[in-house]
Structure 1
């Protein structure tokens, strides 16, 4: 991954509040589990 992209993503992530972080993490895990079922 490009370090500039990673840095901007981490800055965006840290600017979110905890509720939004939990929602994003849950969506990422759901997408991972969903894609793993169809591999």
Structure 2
């Protein structure tokens, strides 16, 4: 999951890099909420 977040954070705004903490919080947070709803 962290690899995908890193790739997304590097390609989302191509000339700049999005800080990995922001991308991790957004993507993994949504995944965590999805998993909570499934349980």
Q: TM-score, normalised by structure 1?
A: 0.46
Kindly name which structure, 1 or 2, has the bigger radius of gyration based on alpha carbons: 1
Structure having the higher helix fraction is: 1
Q: TM-score, normalised by structure 2?
A: 0.46
Structure number with the bigger relative contact order (C-alpha 8 A, sep ≥ 6) is 2
